Structure 1
Amino acid sequence: MFVYLWGYLYRHFFRFWVKWILRQLTGKCELQRIRDGSKEGSQRTLKIEYSLECSKRKVLRNAVHVGEAEVEKCVIGIMKEKKINIQKDISFKKSLQVCLLQISGYKKLYLEVENLRKVPYDSDNEEHEKQLIQLWNLLMPHENLKARITKQWCDIGFQGDDPKTDFRGMGMLGLVNLVYFSKYYTGEARQILSRSNHPKLGYSYAIVGINLTEMAYSLLKSGALKSHLYNLVPGLPQMEHFHQFYCYLVYEFDKFWFEEEPESIMHFNCYREKFHEKVKGLLLDYNLVLTLQSTTKKP
């Protein structure tokens, strides 16, 4: 309660005077001080984002909502509003531009991921069917499907004879993630599929993969992936960067599952939540980038 009260008082009453005093002492505005006192990436961009959101000036508050095309114009407007002389502080414009690109790029990426999640799997859609068959061929190259609807799908961890029913929660996002991991980390995907068939510690590979898509999606939606993506991409994060984070989750969850040695698959939700908390804890480190390094990753 005390921490919340102090945070409220600081943001709405004391922050203005602290900023004013520091400006008089340093001759620089808060944005300039952040640029000078923090490293590129998550540490700087998160502070810039917070500073802009808390500003009493509309020009600065609106900066966190601009699109990619408006970033340069927005930076010029901020410099004018804060009376920053570009001739005396040449690097400020570039630094702020990178931060705003990361902020706007994160919001754009979330919308792209959300839109893909909302696309339901359609067995009448040729492209959807093509991706599903591609998933099978990548994971089971030496075994042909006997039919489109078959119990063979259970061999790669789907629940029944038609995988389309398993994509309801995450839509096409779940399938695209599974295909991405199998395509660009083929060796790891086949190894994890093999491990998932363990007689005692086994789990449903595809179902768990879709579940981990939901985890990646929820972390993106909550903003927890900001530190990771701001460190990873010096500009606009793309859908590929979301897929790569998903691949990290799949690889690390498999290790986590076997290290924990659950009594049975019936305890999956408990261990899933434990893994989720572990990842959220890692993402609190503003210097960390969570990626899966692989010798089999294709360019």
Structure 2
Amino acid sequence: MLAFIWQYFYTSFLRYWFKWVLRHVTGRCELQRICAGYAQGAERTARAEYSLKSSKSELLRSSVDVEENAVESRVAKIIHVKNVKEQKDPAFKKNLQVCLQQITGYKHLFVSVEELRNDVFDSEKEEHESMLLKLWELLMPSVKLESRITKQWGDIGFQGEDPKTDFRGMGMLGLTNLVFFSENYTEEARQVLSHANHPKLGYSYAIVGINLTEMAYSLLKSGELKPHFYNSVAGKPEMKHFHQVYCYLAYEFDKFWIEEEPESIMEFNIYREKFHDKIKKCLLDPEITLILTVDSKNEPVATS
């Protein structure tokens, strides 16, 4: 209760006067101080986002929701409203523009991801079928698929003879993630599949992959992926950047599962939550990046 009262008192009264004093002492507004005091990345952008959302100015508060093509003009308006002398702070305009591109881009990325999630797999759509068959070809290049409806799909971790039923929860987002991983990290994806087919520590590769899509989606929706994107993308994040997060999760979960050595696949939900908590803890680090790279020896290296 006391913490709530203090927070209300600070945001309603003290913060305004604190900013006023610093403005007169430094000759810079809060956004200028943030852009000058922190290197490009999550800490700078997160502080700028909080400053904008907490502003008494409607212009500043609404800046976190502008469209991509309006970012530059909005920055110009902020400079005018805050009476920033550009000749005295020439880097401010560019730095604030990057912050706004990241802030608004994150929101627009979620909209795009949501649209793909709501795109239901449709066997009547050629592009959907082609993507599914491509997944098989990438993961099982030496094995011919006998027919479209076949038990062979179980070899890459689908539950039944027709994979379309497994995409209900995440729609085309789940399939797109699986294909992106297999296409951009082919050897790593095949390595993970071989682990998934282990006689003792195995798991359903495709089903777990779709489950990890849901994890990535929930982290994006909650805003917990902001530090990663603010650190790793110097501007507007795009769909490929979301897919890259999935690749990191897919590879890291496989390592985690093998290291933990569960008794059986029946314990999947327990270890799934443990892994989820591990990732959320990592995302509390303001310098975090969830990036899967391959070193000079073509060995996968997940960095965080």
**Equivalences for residues 241-280 of structure 1 within 5 A:** 241-280=241-280
CA distance in 1, matches of 2:269, 2:4: 32
1:119-173 C-alpha deviation (Å, 9 max, x unpaired): 0000111110000000001000111111100000000000000000000000000
1:177-202 C-alpha deviation (Å, 9 max, x unpaired): 00000011010111110111111111
**Equivalences for residues 161-240 of structure 1 within 5 A:** 161-240=161-240
Structure 1 stretches of 4+ moved >2 Å: 1-9
**Equivalences for residues 1-299 of structure 1 within 5 A:** 1-294=1-294
Q: Which runs of 5+ in 2 are unaligned?
A: 300-304
2:36–2:92: 8 Å Cα contact kept in structure 1?
A: no
Paired letter, 1:21: V
Deviation at 1:8, TM superposition (A): 2.6
CA distance in 2, matches of 1:70, 1:245: 27
CA distance in 1, matches of 2:49, 2:293: 30
Match of 1:116, SS? helix
Deviation at 1:90, TM superposition (A): 1.0
CA distance in 2, matches of 1:238, 1:123: 27
Match of 1:87, SS? coil
CA distance in 2, matches of 1:172, 1:196: 22
The TM-score, its normalising length taken from structure 2, stands at 0.95
Paired letter, 1:111: V
CA distance in 2, matches of 1:89, 1:192: 50
Quickly say closer, same or farther: Cα 1:118–1:2, change in 2 above 3 A.
same
Paired letter, 1:217: Y
CA distance in 2, matches of 1:2, 1:177: 45
CA distance in 2, matches of 1:289, 1:112: 21
The TM-score, its normalising length taken from structure 1, stands at 0.97
Deviation at 1:5, TM superposition (A): 3.3
Identity %: 63
What value does the CA root-mean-square deviation take over the aligned residues?
Answer: 1.2
Paired letter, 1:95: N
Q: Which runs of 5+ in 1 are unaligned?
A: none
CA distance in 1, matches of 2:34, 2:28: 10
